Amino acid sequence: MVEFLKDLWSFMKARRKWWLIPVILVVLLIGALIIFAESSAVGSFIYTLF
């Protein structure tokens, strides 16, 4: 996983793909929200947002 992150960072740095950073962050936040919603009682309230 660390090697993948290093490769991704070097790709973004070399090719100047800085617009990928917000996209990756949004995908990670949505994934974390889904994981959090499955394991808590707050899930029913989070699902109403979507």
Going 24 to 26 to 32 to 38, the CA torsion angle's sign is negative
Please check the confidence at residue 26 and state whether its pLDDT lies above 90: yes
Q: Which residue has the higher pLDDT, 40 or 13?
A: 13
How many Cβ atoms sit within 10 Å of the Cβ of residue 3? 7
Q: Residue 46 has what pLDDT?
A: 67
Please compute, for residue 1, the number of CA atoms within 13 A of its CA located in the half-sphere on the CB side: 0
State if pTM tops 0.85: no
Q: Residue 27 has what pLDDT?
A: 92
* C-alpha to C-alpha distance for 32 and 26, rounded to whole angstroms: 10
* C-alpha to C-alpha distance for 16 and 18, rounded to whole angstroms: 6
Q: Residue 40 has what pLDDT?
A: 67
Please check the confidence at residue 30 and state whether its pLDDT lies above 80: yes
